[in-house]
Amino acid sequence: MTVIGSVVLVGLFSAKDRDYQDRLDALEAQVTALGGQVLDRFVQRRGVSDGGVRLMTAPLSRRFLIGPGKLEEIATTCSSRNVDAVVFINGLSGYQRRWLSTRLGRPVLTQADLDPSAHHLTSPTRSQRRAGRRQRPKRRR
């Protein structure tokens, strides 16, 4: 079990979502209650500009959920501030979690991973990481 001390929070929100700061505040309180320290927050808004409104119906990045510019910004902060983990307010597929973790070089958690009964903020266990991977069927010989 790895104890994670410092995290950054990340959230993708629609431009119509007016309470996104309150949602991030609640996530920060949850992290703090578990013994973590939030070093920074990153918000990706979708549908803010005219171009963004047109893109609201387009699928999100299959790999990263957020845009490449925001991803680079997060990666730079993680490296320069020695962040232990990144916590997304949004749900992530196993595929997205693996890609983000590889790109950011640290564990990627979601709000759902923060178990309220846990005493420490932890990274996913090996079995949790393995559960996100697609199992290949065994071939009979």
CB atoms within 10 A of CB 37: 14
Percent over 70 (pLDDT), the chain: 65
- Taking a C-beta distance cutoff of 8 angstroms, is the pair 132, 97 a contact? yes
User: What pTM does this model have?
Assistant: 0.72
Alpha carbon 141 to its chain's center: 41
pLDDT at 64: 65
Q: Over 50: is that where the pLDDT of 59 sits?
A: no
Q: Is the pLDDT of residue 37 over 90?
A: yes
Beta bridge partners of 38: 7
Taking only the tens place, the pLDDT of each residue in 111-140 is 989 866 544 455 555 544 444 444 455 556
Q: Are 91 and 110 in contact (CB under 8 A)?
A: yes
The one-letter amino acid code at 37 reads Q
SS (H, E, C) the chain: CCECCEEEEEEEEECCCCCHHHHHHHHHHHHHHCCCEEEEEEEEEECCCHHHHHHCCCCCCCCCCCCHHHHHHHHHHHHHCCCCEEEECCCCCHHHHHHHHHHHCCCEEEHHHCCCCCCCCECCCHHHHHHHCCCCCCCCC
Token pair for residue 81?
């501030």
